[in-house]
Structure formats: C-alpha cells, structure tokens
Structure 1
Amino acid sequence: MLRYTLMRLGIFAGCFVVVWGAVYSGVFPRGFGDSNFLWILLLALVLSAPISWVVLRKERDRASVQIVERVDRVKANLEANRSQEDVVDDASRAQGRPS
C-alpha cells in the first residue's frame, strides 16, 4: 500500500512540475491574482488522477489484494476470540456459576 501511495505521489509531483513549467511558459493560462499556485495545484491534480488510474492499475490491484487479506485475517482472529469466549461462558454456565 505504501508503494502505491508513493508511486501516486510521484506521478502527482511529475504532473505538478510539468504544469508549473507550462503555466510559466504560457502554454496554460495563469491563475487570477495570487491564486496561481492553487491553479497549478488543481491542474496537476486533475491531470495526475487519470494518469494514475491507468498507469497504476496493477499496483492498485496488488494493494487491494493485500487489504482484503488483512481484513480476512482480522475477521478470523475476531471469530476465534468470540469462540474462545463462548467456550468459557458455556463452561461456567455448565458449572452453575453466573458469568
């Protein structure tokens, strides 16, 4: 997951540099007044999103598999803990003690 995040940030940083150069060279229009940095940031975000979607497809699939495995492991651990509690509760009820 960290690898995917770093790759996505790298694509965004690359787009930011390209957009910054394009704005200051006049290819893209400048922002109004002091909003130029925000304009460059938003353009880079808009450009990097579809690039990341296409380029990082395999890495995103790997990350989602890791997340699913982690969630399944946590669910199995929770179920094991519940069953242990049920065994102790059933044993104490069989002996006539309140839980």
Structure 2
Amino acid sequence: MRLGIFVGCFAVAAVAVHFGLFPSGASDSNFVWVILLALVLSAPLSYVLLRKQRDEMSAQIVSTVDRTKARLEANRTREDHVTQ
C-alpha cells in the first residue's frame, strides 16, 4: 500500500514539475528531484492513511511475542521440574 501511495505521489509530483507548479531540478537532475518530492509527499500521507494497518500489524506482533514468551517460560518451568 505504501508503494502505491509513493507511485501516486510520484505521478502528482511529475505532473506538477512538468507544468511548473513545483520548481524543476538543476540541469539533468529532474528525475531525482521528482523522486525526492514524491518521498517527501508520500511519507506523511502514508503515516496518516496507513495508521489502521500499522496498528493491526503491531497488535499481531505483540500477541505473537506474548505467545512466544509464554511458551519459553513453560518450557523453562518444565525443564526445571525434569532436572530436579
């Protein structure tokens, strides 16, 4: 999804530079300039628009880490009982 936002911003930046809404880069650096503009535009948009997906992924990671910690603790407890 983030790549899609970047591609959209790249297209908007390219059109804006072509029509003079944004300044063009120096001599042959126009393509690099458009990429930098697209990065600057897409970063805050991704942060805002992808917040729900980021929160869901974070919750999944936390639950996976919690299950792994519980499994490790159970294994450690079982090993302590077996060695005694």
Change (3 A) 1:34 1:73: farther
Q: Which residue of 1 aligns with 2:49?
A: 55
TM-score by length of 2: 0.83
Report runs of 4+ in structure 1 exceeding 3 Å deviation: none
Q: How many residues align?
A: 84
> Unaligned stretches of 5+ in structure 2?
none
> Unaligned stretches of 5+ in structure 1?
1-6, 91-99
Report how far residue 66 of structure 1 moved.
1.0
Report how far residue 81 of structure 1 moved.
2.1
Q: Which residue of 2 aligns with 1:69?
A: 63
Q: Which residue of 1 aligns with 2:5?
A: 11
Percent sequence identity is 64
Change (3 A) 1:48 1:89: same
CA distance in 2, matches of 1:16, 1:8: 12
- AA in 2 matched with 1:50: P
TM-score by length of 1: 0.73
Q: Name the larger-Rg structure.
A: 1
